[in-house]
Amino acid sequence: MLIRCDALSVAYDTSYVLENVTVHIRRGEFVGIVGPSGSGKTSLLKAITGAVPAARGSVEVVRGTRIGYVPQVESVDWNFPITVGEVLAMTRTKRRWPSITRAEREEASHVLESLGLAGVQGRHIRELSGGQQQRVFVARAMFGKPDVLLLDEPTSGVDVRTRHEVLHLLHDLHDKGTTIVLTTHDLNGLASHLPRLVCLNREVIADGPPRETLIPEVLERTYGAPLHVLEHGGMPIVLDHDYEVSEVMRDAARDLRNERKQPR
Amino acid sequence: MMSAITWFAVDLLAPYEFGFFGRGLVAATFAGALCGVLGVYVVLRGMSYIGHGLSHAVFGGAAASAVMSVNFFVGAGIWGVISGVLIGRIARRRILGADAAIGIVTTASFAAGIALLNRYGQARKSIEAVLFGSVLGVSWGDVAAIVVVGAIVAVTLIVSYRAFLFATFDPQVATVSGVRVSLIEVTLMVMLSGTILVTMRVIGTLLISALLVIPAATARMMTNSFAKMLLIAPALGAASCFVGMNASYHLDTSAGATIILVAASTFTAVYLFAGRRARTRVASLHHV
């Protein structure tokens, strides 16, 4: 077991954001944490990193485990005067000189290249596309050669294309052996594609594969509202409001049009 | 024509005949560089108002040390460091709303300083010297104090460059990555307090915050690189002080005010001639 959260409670001042949460994560797993805003998803990630203390219970991470943390892109100051190369190099704080060494530059190039970001090392972070920006922060985490990657809302505020890019990237990293834990609001675009989901609302409501967790009973307890679930291509689709319904209808209409265009 | 040039050169060099001007010029130029380099962190961390408040808070310490006949650097230094750490904590914890908390702490300290000088000190002279600086009255001891603080700041920022950058750009992830962000913040506030302490007799309390903000904001328009900003801002700060000092002699104006006017004019010129993108960079700088 790489990470063990046992009966974990986390509080800010006197109000608890997590209560009695037990989640165990094995090496090589790919886990999504879902839940409404304020359900304690980010607090759980922060507790794993040690950034917030446990009020009760415990968090144990195997000694020597390197953690890479990828913050929400919305929390990044995109106007900060900094290049992609500097973003990666800043993590190597043990070096007592400002300049980036040749070895560091080559290593950064290698990491960036592996994430499809070749040639951007000298560019300002604002000059990149949404998908590239997200990947730069994954690259920064990867630059520290992490055993486990924690991502806070990796697809929040990004367009559909970027969401696909991020999802493929994470699957690639997982295939190469990185343990991944992420939080997301995106049930259909991201969560339903993951092998294991933890449904959280201050406490763990359910823990298992999407087929067992993205079901109306669990979702109603997690989100506090009735949600419908359809199945499409063997995957659950959660209909949470009109937008999603219309999206499904649009997809269905497009499939129908394509079908009609096919030569008989 | 030749004689006009000679006259011009002689006139330009006239102030250098006075020893006090040379000392003031060296002190102001170093002070400008020091404020410029720390100003980069102040501006990018959104601490402009903290810098402003801190310079006012240190005034209280300066007044108290004058009244109690304690060494200026010791009295104002202790007061300044305590105020700096307190302000840093308030700003980070968002206890009361950073603006309001800083306003209360610093203006109370400033008011205490004025009251103390009114009641017990040679009020008018001391207040004017601290508020507006007396650059022509600086001693070699003052110059040495600026150089020593400058050297400490430079070594700290070079040796811990990446940790300071990480904590400034992304404190949340820096904490997760093992950077002691709270220690970095305290160190920054102590360096800021020390800088204000040694430079306040040169340019004065009221104008220090301008020298912390203007060169850094100008540098932000000129570059997109953090490392370059750390070189440009102190160069602009030093140049503003050097030009401002000389101009103040010829225009017969206050040295501190002239220095800030030179820095502000440079900012305006860069703002006008820089492209729209450069202006956007400075527009995005946040305060507090």
pLDDT tens-place string over residues A62-87:
998 889 999 888 888 888 999 999 99
| Within-domain flag for A94 | yes
Say how far apart CA A177 and CA A154 lie, in whole Å.
19
Checking DSSP bridges between strand A196-201 and strand A30-34, what pairing results, if any? parallel
pTM, rounded to two decimals: 0.81
| Within-domain flag for A254 | no
Q: What angle do CA B224, B285, B165 make, to 5 degrees?
A: 55
Say how far apart CA A256 and CA B178 lie, in whole Å.
55
Checking DSSP bridges between strand A56-61 and strand A203-208, what pairing results, if any? unpaired
Cβ–Cβ gap B162/A82 under 8 Å: no
When divided into structural domains, chain A yields a total of: 1
A178-188 pLDDT, tens per residue? 999 999 998 88
Taking 70 as the threshold, does the pLDDT of residue A258 lie above it? no
| Within-domain flag for A3 | no
- Choice among B108-112, B241-245, B273-277 with the minimum mean pLDDT: B273-277
Q: From B278, which residue of chain A is nearest by alpha-carbon distance?
A: A79
Q: What interhelical angle do B19-44 and B161-169 show, nearest 10?
A: 50
| Within-domain flag for A2 | no
Q: What is the pLDDT of residue A263?
A: 47
Cβ–Cβ gap B158/A97 under 8 Å: yes
Q: Residue A107's domain spans which residues?
A: 78-144
- Across the interface, which of A51, A79, A83 has its CB nearest the CB of B281? A79
Give the distance from residue A127's alpha carbon to the nearest chain B alpha carbon, in angstroms. 11
Contact list in A for residue B274 (CB cut-off 8 A) is none
| Within-domain flag for A101 | yes
Contact list in A for residue B281 (CB cut-off 8 A) is 79, 81
B134-164 pLDDT, tens per residue? 777 788 888 999 999 999 999 999 999 999 9
Size of interface A-B (CB pairs under 8 A): 72
Say how far apart CA B81 and CA B200 lie, in whole Å.
15
Phi, psi of A231 (to 5 degrees): -120, 130
Contact list in A for residue B173 (CB cut-off 8 A) is 69, 71, 140
Q: What is the pLDDT of residue A252?
A: 60
The one-letter code for the residue type at B11 is D
Cβ–Cβ gap B172/A80 under 8 Å: no
Cβ–Cβ gap B281/A144 under 8 Å: no
H helix count then E strand count, chain B: 14, 0
| Within-domain flag for A109 | yes
Contact list in B for residue A82 (CB cut-off 8 A) is 165, 169, 225-226
* Of A8, A73, A84, A79, nearest in space to A47 by CA: A8
Cβ–Cβ gap A144/B226 under 8 Å: no
- Across the interface, which of A51, A90, A92 has its CB nearest the CB of B169? A90
Contact list in B for residue A49 (CB cut-off 8 A) is 176
Asked if the C-beta of B287 comes within 8 angstroms of chain A's C-beta atoms, the answer is no
Helix then strand then coil, in percent of chain A rounded to 5, is: 40, 25, 35
> Long-range contacts: B179-183, Cβ < 8 Å, 24+?
B179/A93, B182/B92
Instruction: Show which of residues 21-60 on chain B sit within 8 Å of chain A, judged by CB atoms.
Output: 44
B246-B250-B256-B259 Cα dihedral, nearest 10 degrees = -50
Say how far apart CA A228 and CA A245 lie, in whole Å.
10
Contact list in B for residue A83 (CB cut-off 8 A) is 224-225
* Of A9, A2, A46, A51, nearest in space to A203 by CA: A9
What does chain A come to in residues? 264
Asked if A187 and A235 count as a contact pair (C-beta separation under 8 A), the reply is no
Say which residues have a Cβ less than 8 Å from residue B265's Cβ, sequence separation at least 6.
none
Nearest-Å Rg of the Cα atoms of chain A is: 20
| Within-domain flag for A16 | no
- Across the interface, which of A50, A79, A83 has its CB nearest the CB of B225? A83
Taking 80 as the threshold, does the pLDDT of residue B42 lie above it? yes
Contact list in A for residue B170 (CB cut-off 8 A) is 71, 76
| Within-domain flag for A116 | yes
- Choice among B57-66, B72-81, B277-286 with the minimum mean pLDDT: B277-286
The full set of domains in chain B, from first to last, is: 28-283 (1.10.3470.10)
A9-24 average pLDDT score: 92
CA-to-CA dists, residue B4 to A98, B181, B248, angstroms? 49, 59, 22
The band of A93, judged by pLDDT with boundaries at 50, 70 and 90, is: confident
Token readout for A250 is 């649009």
What does chain B come to in residues? 288
